A = this chain, B = another copy of it.
Amino acid sequence: MKPLEGVRVLDLSHALSGPTCTNMLALLGADVVKVERPGVGDDFRHYTEHAGMAGMSVPFAGVNTGKKSITLDFKKPEAREVILKLAERSDLLVENFRPGVATKLGLDYDTLRQVNKGLVYASISGFGQTGKFRDWTAYDHIVQAMSGIMWMNGDPDGGPMKVGFPIIDTFSGYMAVIGLLAALHRRDKTGEGDFVDVAMLDSAFSLMGGAIPTYFYTGEVRGRTGNRGYRLVATSETYRTADGYIAIGANHQHQIEAMCRVLHCESLLQDERFADHKSRVRNHEELRMALSDIFREHNGEEIEPRLAAAHVPVAFVRNLGQVLNHPHFKEREIFLDAELPGADDPLKLVGPGFQLGSGRLEAGAVPTLGQHTDEILAGLGYDAGGIEALRAAGAV
Contact = CB atoms under 8 A, between A and B. Distances in A.
A72 B40 CA distance: 60
A24 interface: yes
Contact of A321 (B58, B221, B311): B221
B159 A224 contact: no
Contacts of A247: 141-142, 144-146, 150, 162
A16 interface: yes
Interface residues of A, number: 152
A236 B138 CA distance: 12
A39 to B, nearest CB: 19
Contacts of A42: none
Contact of A355 (B143, B163, B197, B315): B197
Contact of A202 (B161, B195, B350): B350
A343 to B, nearest CB: 9
A287 interface: no
A227 interface: yes
Nearest to A156: B164
Contact of A167 (B140, B179, B207): B207
A283 interface: no
B181 A185 contact: yes
A157 B239 CA distance: 17
Contact of A197 (B182, B197, B238, B354): B354
B137 A186 contact: no
B245 A210 contact: no
Contact of A153 (B163, B178, B186): B163
A353 B162 contact: no
Interface in A165-216: 165-167, 169-171, 174-179, 181-186, 188-190, 192, 194-199, 202-203, 205-216
B318 A4 contact: no
A161 B227 contact: yes
A146 B238 CA distance: 12
- Which label, helix, strand, loop or mixed, suits the secondary structure of the A interface? mixed
Given A150-B317, A155-B161, A332-B128, A183 B349 contact: no
A341 interface: no
B175 A49 contact: no
A349 to B, nearest CB: 4
Contacts of A316: 145-146
A147 interface: yes
A155 B152 contact: no
A313 interface: yes
A209 B165 contact: yes
Contacts of A356: 179, 183, 194-197
A328 B189 contact: no
Given A49-B214, A183-B3, A216-B347, A353 B209 contact: no
A132 B205 contact: no
A312 interface: yes
Residue with the greatest number of chain B CB neighbours at <10 A, chosen from A192, A206, A212: A206
10 contacts: A130-B332, A147-B323, A149-B164, A160-B245, A162-B225, A162-B228, A174-B206, A196-B354, A208-B350, A216-B324
